[in-house]
Amino acid sequence: MSSKVVVSAKHVTKRFGSQVVFEDVTLDVHKKEVVAIIGPSGAGKSTFIRCVNRLHPFDEGTLEVLGHTLTGGGHSPSREILQDIRTRVGMVFQTFNLFPHLSVLNNIILAPMEVKKIHRQQAARQAMELLALVGLEHKAEMFPRRLSGGEQQRVAICRALAMDPEIMLFDEPTSMLDPELVGEVLAAIRRLAQQGMTMLLVTHEMQFAKEVADTVIIMADHGIVEKGPAAKVLDAPATERARVFLRRILKPTEVAAEAAAPARGRF
């Protein structure tokens, strides 16, 4: 992790209509830093990382991404700035979102060819190299629906990496997967972290967050409630809100027993 800041959010607030999704989010992400964002659902984690590549606009504050400054309110960035950000920031979605009518290979080479104007042969060669890294080169000619969820998500990672991004956004990449398929996707992400990719990772995999993340952020109640080195935030959180959340996640059976206890006493 170097000191160069590549994403810098300052007092960013996002609303849907009158409903606040998150407010006053301030955060710096350094080059090669792996930031895991955890927290209860509805806390605005996914929406926040979608603001980074501006799939969502936001309402207040500023967000600097790779030297470009996005501002809140009605200001739309120019088409060139938008494309520059999206070309240099890759994203992997919870629901994979592969293009079902294109083969695995064509899923991966479409953007390099269309956006970066890379020649088909060269794009295909790079795609096959990426597929080989995740052990899927033999699936290149198949349609996505022939692949398991874990395989589809690994292809989605290849598709994002084919643009040679400087930052990767992961939006709950393993939440839709059967438990036995989670490992293969986490392995691909882990390898990426080891290679020094800057990452923002929304996840519910606490153990994984602890292992790969430099920084862990807990978002709850429309904002960041805790931020710091992974081990510190996860093992010794400073705020009560973070402790409550982590206890629910890590020891769900105890929480359930506590919740049931008063009921038993009442009857």
Partner 1 sequence: MHIPILTIPRLYAGVIAQGAVKDLALTVVSTIVSFILGTLGAAGRLYGPWLVKTVIYWYVEIIRGLPAILQLFIIYFGFTQWGIDFSPLTAALIWLVAYGTGYGVEIFRSGIMEVPHGQSEAAAALGLSRRTTMLRIILPQAYAAMLPPLTSFVVLQLKNTTLLYLVGYADIMYQARLGTDATEQPGILYLMAALAYLIMSLAIGRLGYRLERRTAAYR
Nearer to partner 1, 80 or 240 (CB): 80
Residue of 66, 111, 218, 230 that binds partner 1 (CB under 8 A)? 111
User: Could you give the C-alpha distances from 235 to 230, 242, 248, in angstroms and in order?
Assistant: 8, 10, 14
Whole-number minimum distance, CB 188 to partner 1, in Å?
Answer: 18
Tell which positions 154-193 bind partner 1, by CB under 8 A.
Answer: 159-160, 163, 169
Nearer to partner 1, 3 or 78 (CB): 78
Find, among 188, 187, 198, the residue nearest to 35 by Cα: 198
Nearer to partner 1, 134 or 161 (CB): 161
Residue of 62, 71, 97, 175 that binds partner 1 (CB under 8 A)? 97
Nearer to partner 1, 29 or 242 (CB): 29
- Beta partners for 201? 36, 170
Whole-number minimum distance, CB 115 to partner 1, in Å?
Answer: 5
| Burial environment of residue 168 by CB neighbours within 10 A (0 to 12, 13 to 18, 19 or more) | buried
| Burial environment of residue 231 by CB neighbours within 10 A (0 to 12, 13 to 18, 19 or more) | exposed
Applying CB under 8 A, what is the total number of residues that bind partner 1? 26
91 touching partner 1, by CB under 8 A: yes
Q: Taking the chain, what is the end-to-end CA distance rounded to the nearest angstrom?
A: 56
What would the two tokens of residue 217 be?
């952020």
How far is Cα 1 from Cα 28, in angstroms, rounded to an integer? 12
Q: Is 118 helix (H, G, I), strand (E, B) or coil?
A: coil
Nearer to partner 1, 145 or 266 (CB): 145
Residue of 87, 153, 174, 215 that binds partner 1 (CB under 8 A)? 87
Which residue do the tokens 């490992």 mark? 183
Nearer to partner 1, 55 or 255 (CB): 55
Residues that bind partner 1 (CB under 8 A): 53, 55, 83, 86-87, 89-91, 93, 95, 97-101, 110-111, 114-115, 143-145, 159-160, 163, 169
